């Protein structure tokens, strides 16, 4: 399908990212059977996968667009990535962040020289603020997920997984706006058509799951998605281009609870020596606590998408114990139930 982001576009993004984004390792998670490998995007210079898409998009801009400066909206990680990439490329950057964005992420963007504009939470407020800034200043937008070069950049995560683990049969990926899973699914499908890609969301912000089930983009009210601890995944609705990838290249999307997210963050520290922010931990949480909802697999990779967590929040989570995380997960039925996605009764 020509409108999907191609592996050729992803490879071109990889070439632009050479020497900028880290080729992150697949870290074995101790004591889990079958083997679980964690793709540690928390080790990127900006602490999250978003660097890939931001640099891919800004570096592809012609000089006249770079000279106008760029603008982006973000819950935090994309803001930091745009600021970081723009600084490397000598481009001025303005980022719009919601008022409830984690300070550690906002300050990281500010430290890279970006101008910070604060708006109300919710995707509509964020996009409206960006539109106003474009109208006033002529900035070039760098969207967090609705952009071919951004998705191609995120897809380099999938290229690396396929190169480092050629026999991977299941890739589990966090879902917010859908840019990461779209790029990863495009890369994995091209490299290993037999491998399945499954997305994971918090159950308190499950718009992408509903979208895949209903085979159309479903929006959740902002006041509902704001409830989850996973600030990186509070997007109200997946993008139009990511949705095309969900429908044709993603097997299923499942959800995890808030307690399971917290437990996965603790277990990542002790089992893989990796720090994850809440949104970054959801794929690992699904593998640990929702295995009964995932397709059977011998070579599993879970993407740890980011590790930019407030120190106080991390200390509180590491110092607590959550009873019943994953309770009943094994009995929730097979992935794909309800007719969603590739291999689950949906049409491709």
Q: Are 28 and 36 in contact (CB under 8 A)?
A: yes
Phi, psi of 337 (to 5 degrees): -60, 135
Q: What φ, ψ does residue 141 adopt, rounded to 5°?
A: -75, 140
- Say how far apart CA 16 and CA 246 lie, in whole Å: 26
The residue annotated as part of the active site, out of 50, 59, 74, 75, is 50
Residues pairing with 306 in the sheet: 48
Burial class (CB in 10 A: 0-12, 13-18, 19+), 326: buried
Neighbours of 214 (CB within 10 A): 12
Rounded to whole angstroms, how far apart are CA atoms 230 and 218? Answer: 19
- C-beta separation of 273 from 144 below 8 A: no
Structure tokens at 296: 């059977």
Other beta carbons less than 10 A from residue 135's beta carbon: 9
Q: Is 305 a catalytic residue?
A: yes
Containing H/E element for 28? Answer: strand 26-28
3-state secondary structure of 300: strand
Task: Outline where DSSP puts E strands in 221-326.
Answer: 252-256, 300-304
CA-to-CA distance for 94 and 96, rounded, in angstroms? 7
Active site residue 68: no
Q: How many angstroms separate the CA atoms of 138 and 299, rounded? A: 47
Q: Are the C-beta atoms of 177 and 238 separated by less than 8 Å? A: yes
Q: Where are the beta strands (DSSP E) in 51-129?
A: 70-73, 93-98, 115-119
Catalytic residue among 56, 59, 74, 305: 305
Do β-strands 70-73 and 196-202 pair in parallel, antiparallel, or remain unpaired? Answer: unpaired
Handedness of CA 270, 46, 286, 335 (dihedral sign): negative
Please give the positions annotated as active site. 50, 305
């Amino acid at each position: 399908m020509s409108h999907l982001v191609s592996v050729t576009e992803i490879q071109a993004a990889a070439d632009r990212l050479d020497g900028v984004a880290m080729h992150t390792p697949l870290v074995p998670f101790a004591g889990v059977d079958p083997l679980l490998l964690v793709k540690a995007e928390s080790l990127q210079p900006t602490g999250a996968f978003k660097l890939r898409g931001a640099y891919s998009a800004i570096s592809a801009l012609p000089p006249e667009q770079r000279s106008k400066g760029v603008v982006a909206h973000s819950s935090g990680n994309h803001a930091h990535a745009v600021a970081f990439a723009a600084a490397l490329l000598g481009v001025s950057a303005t980022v719009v962040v919601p008022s409830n964005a984690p300070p550690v992420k906002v300050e990281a963007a500010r430290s890279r020289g970006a101008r910070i504009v604060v708006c109300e939470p919710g995707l509509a407020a964020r996009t409206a603020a960006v539109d106003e800034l474009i109208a006033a200043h002529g900035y070039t937008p760098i969207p967090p997920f609705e952009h071919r070069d951004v998705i191609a950049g995120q897809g380099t995560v999938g290229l690396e997984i396929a190169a480092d683990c050629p026999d991977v049969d299941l890739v589990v990926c966090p879902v917010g706006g859908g840019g990461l899973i779209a790029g990863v699914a495009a890369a994995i499908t091209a490299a290993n058509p037999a491998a399945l890609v499954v997305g994971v969301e918090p159950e308190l912000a499950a718009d992408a799951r509903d979208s895949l089930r209903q085979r159309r983009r479903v929006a959740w009210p902002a006041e509902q998605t704001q409830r989850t601890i996973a600030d990186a995944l509070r997007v109200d609705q997946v993008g139009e281009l990511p949705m095309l990838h969900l429908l044709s290249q993603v097997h299923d999307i499942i959800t995890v609870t808030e307690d399971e997210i917290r437990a996965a963050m603790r277990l990542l520290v002790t089992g893989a020596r990796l720090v994850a922010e809440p949104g970054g931990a959801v794929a690992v949480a699904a593998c640990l606590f929702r295995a009964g909802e995932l397709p059977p697999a011998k070579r599993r990779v879970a993407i740890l998408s980011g590790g930019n967590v407030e120190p106080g929040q991390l200390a509180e989570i590491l110092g607590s114990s959550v009873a019943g995380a994953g309770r009943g997960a094994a009995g929730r039925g097979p992935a794909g139930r309800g007719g969603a996605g590739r291999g689950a009764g949906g049409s491709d």
